[in-house]
Amino acid sequence: MAFKKRRIFDLRHVQAQQMATTASHRRSHPTHNHSHNPIQPQHRFRQIGEWFTENMRNYCQTTSLHGFSYITRQDISRNERWFWLVVVILAIITSIVLVVVSWYWSQETPTVTVIESSHFPTWNIPFPAVTICNFNKISKTKALSLLDQMQVPVGINRSELHNLFNLTLMPVDTMISNDSLQIYDRILSLNNLTLNKLTQQLSPDCIEMISNCIWKGINTRCDSLFQRIDTMEGQCCTFNYFGGISNNFPEKIAYQVPKRPYRVTGCGYPTGLSVLLNPMISDYYGTFFSGFGFRLLLHDAYNFPDENSETKVVTTTRESFVRINPESTYATNDIRRMDLSLRNCLFGSEMAMHGLRRYSFINCMFECRVRMTVDLCGCLPPYVYNNGSYKVCGVLQTNCIIHSKRLFSHALANLNFSLSIVRETDSFPCGCLPDCQSNHYVSESTTGRLDMSYFANRPTFNNATDRILLHVFFSDLMSTRYRTDIFQNWLSALASFGGLLGLIMGFSIVTAFEFIYFLTFRPVFNYINRE
């Protein structure tokens, strides 16, 4: 009842002011026959202006926004009111500018990657793929056997067979004369061979290179762990690799191969992979290295092994411990729902690869380089998966393949320019977007001389002369996990904008409703109370 009386009092006070204003106006502008003249448009607009001014005055006197009450106070001077009007206008402009800048920043950086945990269990991260490539690319035993079996065309010296075998090494810088390539092509055609088949027949076998295997402390058949794959390094043996469309395990043990990458539940070399490697020094025939040993590539289980992999070198009569500190990055569901142009990353299942099972930035860049090679040479390199739709490069395209291998050594395959030009490039190379989710394997290695007495009472590791003992394992039970999330969702944007407006003007949702109330609901309530 008291609230209603106060409302009626306010209404009467406003009506009295309006009547006094109207009487003053009539005395200063006397008219005749006013009851018979229609209301002029100027007078109607004046009434609307007076109504709006009066409501705004009441709003300024009652609102909680900073500084608004000083604009209409009658107990301060006119100059002070003008001062506070300027302050309020500047505050409104500043608030708008800061809100616009905050919105612009959120659009410029729609996603952000932060450390979610430094104690993420390593058993939730797949074990990396371990690819082992022998320095020796050609088995001497197999080469001598083929020298006796292969035929040569009439008029061609059998010494050309040695040069043909060395051709499988695919040198990077040395070009071969076309006459020699014609001779090699005639030799292969006569023996019903291709350059790819010859490479496979000359490469050392994985079972001979990898003598014994221990996985998670249990002696395991090496042929059930390692498979043979084609890489840019030639024929290599890989463990825990699931990037290819199919695998190369023997059919009799294919059922033992898991469908997903291996994981470990502990740390230290007894819980990882230990292999005894045989460099087969007496079997060396063709190599790019001056020593005896292996090149070790550590990479994600779904990534093709190339120059982007963590690379280590292990040499004879050494025991090497390779400690891995994995790092995992994942993206939230808000990132998956974002538009591709905003998040600028792809999930593994969002783009199909030609010869690889899952999308990744590394796989995309590899296939991009392969497409550039196809455009340059008109054929597919022999170390790439082929579904039968492409012609495989032969001997006659060897120079083109050697030239195209330089594309794989550049950081950006399609940008062989200066750094200043690369920095001004807006798009990603080859249209390949980064991974939304990925696993990175940072590794450290420690090498010592292999103690041969260690094998004295261990029949599992017999005949270990000139061998290499390799251990690959996680160094800790915990790892670092990163989270990719949106920079601002609707809740954080509301908090950001509300914080800026509240800091400068004391703005809130209630004050916004007050403004709407004074322009809409209050006139209605005044009209009801008048009735």
The DSSP result for 150-182, as a single string, is ----TT--TTHHHHHHHHTT--SS----HHHHH
Question: Is residue 204 a contact partner of residue 236, using CB atoms and an 8 Å limit?
Answer: no
DSSP per-residue codes, 458-518: -GGG-S-TT-EEEEEEES-SEEEEEEEEES--HHHHHHHHHHHHHHHH---HHHHHHHHII
* Structure confidence at residue 213 (pLDDT): 93
Express each pLDDT in 198-217 by its tens digit.
888 899 988 889 988 999 99
| pTM attached to this predicted model | 0.75
Statement: residue 225 has pLDDT above 80: yes
* Structure confidence at residue 271 (pLDDT): 93
Q: Which of 228, 230, 194 is nearest to 384 (CA)?
A: 230
Q: What is the mean predicted confidence (pLDDT) over 505-526?
A: 76
Distance CA 143, CA 134 (A): 16
Percent of the chain at pLDDT above 90? 26
Domains of the chain: 51-109+500-529 (no CATH), 120-411+427-484 (2.60.470.10)
234-239 and 226-231 strand pairing: antiparallel
Statement: residue 197 has pLDDT above 80: yes
More confident: 464 or 127 = 127
Q: pLDDT averaged over the chain?
A: 81
* Structure confidence at residue 360 (pLDDT): 93
Contacts of 112 (CB under 8 A, 6+ apart): 484, 485, 486, 487
pLDDT band at 530 (very low <50, low <70, confident <90, very high): low
Name which of 41-50, 154-163, 417-426, 497-506 the model is least confident about: 417-426
Express each pLDDT in 348-379 by its tens digit.
888 888 888 999 999 998 888 888 888 888 88
* Structure confidence at residue 479 (pLDDT): 94
Counting runs of H as helices and runs of E as strands, what totals does the chain give?
A: 17, 15
